Amino acid sequence: MAKYDFKLPDIGEGVVEGEVVMWHVSVGDVVSEDDPIVDVMTDKATVTIPSPTDGTVVSLNGEVGDMVAVGSVLIEFDTDGSAPSIPELEDESEPIEEEAEEEQVEIPAKTEVREVVKSPEVSKPVQMSAPEIPISSSRTVLASPAVRRRAREANIDLASLSGSGPAGRVRHADIDAFVAGGGAVMGAPPVAYSTKRSGVSEVKIVGLRRKISEQMVKSAFSIPHFSYFEEVDVTELEALRQALNTSRGEDQPKLTYLPFIMLALAKIMPEHPECNGYFYDGEGVVHRHEAVNLGIATQTDRGLYVPVVKNVESMDVWQAANDLIRVSGAARTGTASLDDLTGSTFTITSLGRDGGLGATPIINHPEMAILGVHKAREMPVVRSGNIVIRRMMNLSSSFDHRVIDGADGARLVQHLKKMLEHPAMIFM
């Protein structure tokens, strides 16, 4: 019996261990070379590792959430050739197809079922509404006049119902349940009140979710956040966006608000250098960057990713939109490269789809600032003493108060507000 011990390979420079995120195989499974066997997450990326050989899985070393060192045995295979060959599998499939065809021949038997369904006897239960119950009872029933009147009209004895209201008061919902049950359920409370839930499920925090958790704790407890909120009139920006989308070429993406916000930030950031860069704890040095590399918080099925659009200062609005679509799409499909996910100097998190008036976004450590964009909506506002309808958008922002004063953060947001309310300035 030939055994093959597959060890966790070196999957990145400087990587010494990886976390088992998901097994694609189980003990006893027959795999072929290059079949995916396990997802392993490192500090740099999540990698799907393929099978190095044909064989049968004998053992898996490590459960989901466990850390496995590079060079240690990850999985054991039996490669003695006991697994069925491909021709055998093909031969076995032929009688299965024949059986399936034979079963399909017996379809006429379903005709009898349809005849039963169409039988007029099935409609008899529909005739039952509220059952007739003699109205006689000696106990006192608590109910409102409206409930009593309804009970009388439906010939229902309130004393036979167990009220779900305070002190056993009979409510309309109790009558509804009584009628819905055909009179068999006496005063059953509505479904919302009838079943107590006591189940508890345990979800292990692994992979990206664990990384996000660690990063959020580090950011929240090591960075003193200063948050600032502002509303922006984007009526003119909306008109410009609509006009550009109408005139766009086939090779140009449909514009959202984000590309304009990205360009506006890149335009004004040289005047606010304290907000663009990194601050590593313990170094005592702020790394201010000239390049504007914007991280775009992107929700995926695997958790929150922050792909990066780099050097936005060198782009036009169409280029920014294209690169935004590219990196966010790669993050959602799991094809983003390490370069796509690193190097941001400022982060934007868009909450527009979910709405909301405000939030306190958590800074993406070791960055120093983050901007939250909320849903644009039409609202009545006062202009020159008159109430007019304008399209308004709320902005939420957070800054590292260790290295950015509140006044400096507020000036950045106010400068951005000016650019978005007069969008021609973005392109000047």
Task: Please report, rounded to a whole number, the percentage of residues in the chain having pLDDT higher than 90.
Answer: 38
**Strand 277-279 to strand 377-383: parallel, antiparallel, or no bridges (unpaired)?**
unpaired
Question: 198 to each of 58, 192, 195, 201, 202, how far by Cα in Å?
Answer: 39, 14, 10, 10, 13
Whether 405 is a known active-site residue: answer: yes
Task: Please report, rounded to a whole number, the percentage of residues in the chain having pLDDT higher than 70.
Answer: 80
* pLDDT above 50: residue 304: yes
Q: So what's the pLDDT on residue 303?
A: 79
**Least confident span in 17-21, 62-66, 111-115:** 111-115
Confidence of residue 106 (pLDDT cuts 50, 70, 90): very low
Residue written as tokens 């003193």? Answer: 224
- In sequence order, which residues have a C-beta less than 8 Å from that of residue 377 and are 6 or more positions away? 355, 391, 392, 393
Q: So what's the pLDDT on residue 12?
A: 67
Confidence of residue 351 (pLDDT cuts 50, 70, 90): confident
pTM of the full predicted structure? 0.61
Question: What is the pLDDT averaged over residues 70-82?
Answer: 80
Regarding predicted confidence, which is higher, 111 or 276? 276
Q: So what's the pLDDT on residue 20?
A: 87
Q: So what's the pLDDT on residue 280?
A: 87
Two tokens, residue 309: 């659009």
H helix runs in 167-206, sequence order: 172-180, 191-194
- In sequence order, which residues have a C-beta less than 8 Å from that of residue 326 and are 6 or more positions away? none
Tens of pLDDT along 256-272? Answer: 999 999 999 999 999 99
Q: So what's the pLDDT on residue 130?
A: 47
Q: So what's the pLDDT on residue 93?
A: 42
- For 369, list phi and psi in degrees, rounded to 5: -155, 155
Regarding predicted confidence, which is higher, 241 or 142? 241
Angle, CA of 22, 27 and 28, to the nearest 5°? 135
Whether 272 is a known active-site residue: answer: no
Average pLDDT score, the chain: 81
Straight-line distance from the first to the last Cα atom of the chain, in angstroms, rounded to the nearest whole number: 74
Domains of the chain in sequence order: 3-78 (2.40.50.100), 140-192 (4.10.320.10), 207-427 (3.30.559.10)
Confidence of residue 109 (pLDDT cuts 50, 70, 90): very low
- Find the catalytic residue in 289, 401, 408, 415: 401
157 closest CA partner among 175, 169, 171, 173: 175
- Measured from the Cβ of residue 208, the count of other Cβ atoms closer than 10 Å reads 17
With beta carbons less than 8 A apart as the criterion, state whether 3 and 76 touch.
yes
- Find the catalytic residue in 5, 34, 354, 405: 405
- In sequence order, which residues have a C-beta less than 8 Å from that of residue 375 and are 6 or more positions away? 351, 352, 353, 354, 355, 356, 393
With beta carbons less than 8 A apart as the criterion, state whether 298 and 331 touch.
yes
Tens of pLDDT along 129-179? Answer: 444 444 444 456 777 777 888 888 888 888 878 787 766 778 888 888 787
Tens of pLDDT along 52-68? Answer: 888 888 889 888 888 88
Question: What is the pLDDT averaged over residues 185-208?
Answer: 68
